[in-house]
Amino acid sequence: MADLLQDLSAVQRDAASATEGPVMVLAGAGSGKTRVITYRIANLIGNQGVPAGNILALTFTNKAAGEMRHRVDQLLGPGSSGGLWIGTFHSVFARLLREYIDRLGYSRSFSIFDSDDSKSLIRQCMAELNISQDSVPVNTVQGIISKAKNSFILPADFHRNAADYNQQKASQIYELYARKLKENNALDFDDLLIKPLELFGNHPEVLEELQELFRYILIDEYQDTNRAQYLVTKMLASRHRNIFVVGDDAQSIYSWRGADISNILNFQDDYEDARTFKLVENYRSTGTILQAANSVISRNQRQIKKELVAKGATGEPLTLIEAFNERQEAEKVGDWIRKLSLEKQLDFRSFAIFYRTNAQSRVLEDTMRQHRLPYKIFGSVSFYKRKEIKDAVAYLRFVQNDRDSESLLRIINFPPRKIGDVSIGKLRDFARERGISLYEAIRCAPQGGYQQRLVNALSSFSSVIESLREIAETGTVYEVLNSLFVQTGLLSLLQAENTPESMARHDNLQELLSMARDFSDHNPDAGMLGDFLENIALASDYDETQESDNFVSLMTVHASKGLEFPVVFITGLEERLFPLNCYEPEQMEEERRLFYVAVTRAREKIFLSWAQSRYLYGQPQHCLRSKFINEIDGDIVHTESGRVHGGGAGAAVSVRRTEPVRHSGGGAPPVREKEGMRKGTRVHHAVFGPGTVLELQGRGTQQKAKILFRGSGEKTLMVQYANLKVLP
C-alpha cells in the first residue's frame, strides 16, 4: 500500500497520509480530490489497520459514493470496501435512524415521504387549519419548511421568529405537519438530516456509541453542506476529532438550496489545530483558462486564497463573441461549432453551451435545429417539452381548434379551477347525450343542472377562451399569449409561489412570450397564431428524432458542475443575466463563483458571448456587457477577428489598466457613492423603473439605498450593483 501513495503528487500524498486530527483539503477544480479521498481511505485500512466499519465517508450523490467504493476495491482488492459506511448524507442517516429511531417514539419501519407525499400532507394540514392555498401556495409552504429544517429550526423556534405573512402561516402548518408526520410514522427527506440531531440531543448515549463507531469521518464537497449536516458531523467527530473535509469555497454555488459557505470558510475556527492542504495543480485545463478563472475569483472577498496552476500547456486565448441580439448570438455560436468541428475534426460531443437560466435554452435550441446541429439538454428537458410551456401552447392550440379535446383536458385546470375528474366525466356524458363537443358542453353548462360553483368555474374558463379567440382573429400571437397571461394570472401565481422551481417556470413562460414577440416582429405577414403553432410543432418533431450519442451539450452552469468538455461556450454574459439580478455582496460573490465553475469546466478553449439587446418579458431590452468579462486579464481575451480585447466600451464596469489594480483586503476595488444621490433624489432602475430615494445607508462598496418605486414598492438595493440612473 505504501507504494501506491507514490502515484500521488507530493501535496496529495501528504493529505492522504494525514490520518489523525482535523484536516481540510482545499481542492481546486480538476485537482484530483476524489483520488485523495479514496487513497486516504485505502491508507487507513491498508497501512494503518483501521477496520473499514470505523470509517464514515459522506458524499452528495450516489454516483460519487459508488465511484469511491469502486476505487477502494481497486486499490485494496475486491470486497475491501464492504464494511465501509459510505454514501450520501440522506442514505447513511436513514440507515442510522432505522437502528435508533424508536428512542424518539417512531417505529423502525418508518416510511420516507417523497416530495409529492409531503405536499399532500401539507394540503391536509392547510385544510384543517382553514388556510387557503390561494393565499399561500403549497409549494411555497413546502419550501419554507424545508429551509427551516435544513437550518435546524424546529417548529416552536420558527413560530417565534416568523416575520412576514407567508412565514406566519407556514409556522402554523409546520407545527401540524410535524405532528402528522409522526402520526403516520413517517419522515420527509429533510427529517433524515434533523432527526439525528434530535436523537443525539435527547439520547447522549446514542451519540457516544456512534462517536466510538465512527473514528474517522470524511466529507466530500464540504462547501455544499447546510447547517444540519454541519451540526451532525461536528457532533459525531467531537470525540476522536479525526474529521477530514474536502471542498472548494470557490465552487460554492448552492446557497439557494441551503448550502452554507461559512462551514468551509470557518473550518479553521472550529478546529484551531486543523491542518490545511491546498490542491492547486489542475490536470484538466490550459494555463490560459486557469489564468482567466484566477483573475475573476480573486475579486471575491469571502474566500480562502489560492491560485490554480496548470499542469498542461498554456493554450489558446479566450474568444469574445459580441452580437446584436440573442438570435445572432446563437447563430455565431452555431457557426463556431461547425467551423471547429470541420477544421479540428472535433466530434459534436466535444462542445458544451452554458447559460445562466433554463429559459435561455430556447433560442439556442432553435438555432441548433435550424442548422441541423445535434444537441441534448442536460439537467432539464427541451424547452418545448417543459410542462408550463406545453400547458401554455395547449391554450393556443385550443384557441385555434376548440375540438382539440387533448388540449382542453390539459388546460381546464391550468391554473387550478377545482374542476375535478368527476365533473369532467359528467360533462363527457352531457356531450355524448347531445351529440356535441366537450367544449360545447362546457359552454352549455348552465343548462346541465350542475352545482353553481362548477358552472361559475366553467363559465370563467370559456370566457377566457372566447376572449382569446377574438384577439386571435386579427391580432398577433404575441397579443394572444400576453392576454392569456393577464387573464389567467399565470405569471403572478408563479411569482407569488416564490420558490426556485416556480420562478424557473415563470422565466420559461416569459421566454415563450419573448419568442412570440420576436416571431410577430420578424414575420409581419405571417405572425398569426397558426403560423406560430406550426413552428413549434416542427421544433417538437425534431426533438423526437434525435437518436445519436454525438451531440452538443446544452445546460445551465449549475448543471455543469462536475463535468468537463474540450470546448465551452458561456453565453448571455450580460448584466442582470450573468450575473443575475443581485443587489447584495453575498449574491454577487456567488454569481462570481458560478462563473468560475463555468470557466473551469473547459479543457482547451472558451468562448464568451453577449448580446447588445435581448427580448426580456416580451420586450426588446438594451443590455450591458457582464462585468465578469472585464474582470478577466484583458490580454488573454481576443475578439472573433483575433484582436486583443483588453476591455473597453460597452462594459458594465470599464476597467482599463496597464498594471494590476492594488487595494487592501482583496475582493473588488473600492467604489465611490453614487454622485448626486441623496434622500428625495429621483432615480431610474432598469427592472423596477422610476423611483424616489427614501434613505441612504453606509458608504463606498457597502452603500445601500432604500427606494420607493412607482410600480414595485419599496426596495433596498446595493448602490454598487444596482446601476441606478439619477433623473433630473
Q: Which residues are catalytic?
A: 33-34, 220-221, 251, 601
CA–CA–CA angle 111, 114, 118 (5° rounding)? 95
Q: What's the sign of the alpha-carbon dihedral 571, 575, 577, 583?
A: positive
Q: Which residues pair with 567 in a beta bridge?
A: 351, 605
Chain position carrying cell 485523495: 36
State which amino acid sits at residue 626. Answer: S
Taking every pair of Cα atoms in the chain, the longest distance, rounded to a whole number of angstroms, is 87
Q: Per the annotation, does 34 bind a ligand?
A: yes
Q: Per the annotation, does 618 bind a ligand?
A: no
Q: Which of 578, 632, 670, 605 is nearest to 253 (CA)?
A: 578
| Cell reading at 327 | 438570435
Q: Per the annotation, does 28 bind a ligand?
A: yes
Burial category of 464 from C-beta neighbours within 10 Å (exposed 0-12, middle 13-18, buried 19 and up)? middle
Q: Per the annotation, does 29 bind a ligand?
A: yes
Q: Which residues pair with 709 in a beta bridge?
A: 691, 713
Q: Which of 674, 652, 653 is nearest to 725 (CA)?
A: 674
CA dihedral 482, 488, 494, 496 (to 10 degrees): 120
Q: Which of 567, 565, 569, 588 is nearest to 578 (CA)?
A: 588
SS3 content of the chain, % helix, strand, coil (to 5): 50, 15, 35
Asked if residue 494 lies in contact with residue 462, where contact means CB atoms within 8 angstroms, the answer is no
Asked if residue 637 lies in contact with residue 684, where contact means CB atoms within 8 angstroms, the answer is no
Asked if residue 248 lies in contact with residue 223, where contact means CB atoms within 8 angstroms, the answer is yes
Q: Per the annotation, does 31 bind a ligand?
A: yes
Chain position carrying cell 410535524: 178
Q: Which residues contact 455 (CB under 8 A, 6 or more apart)?
A: 445, 446, 448
Q: Per the annotation, does 483 bind a ligand?
A: no
First to last CA, the chain: 74
Chain position carrying cell 413552428: 535
Residue 542 CA to residue 527 CA, distance in Å, equals 22
Sheet harboring 689-697: ordered strands across? 713-718, 704-709, 689-697, 682-685, 725-726
Residue 555 CA to residue 551 CA, distance in Å, equals 13
Give the residue ranges of the annotated binding site for ATP.
27-34
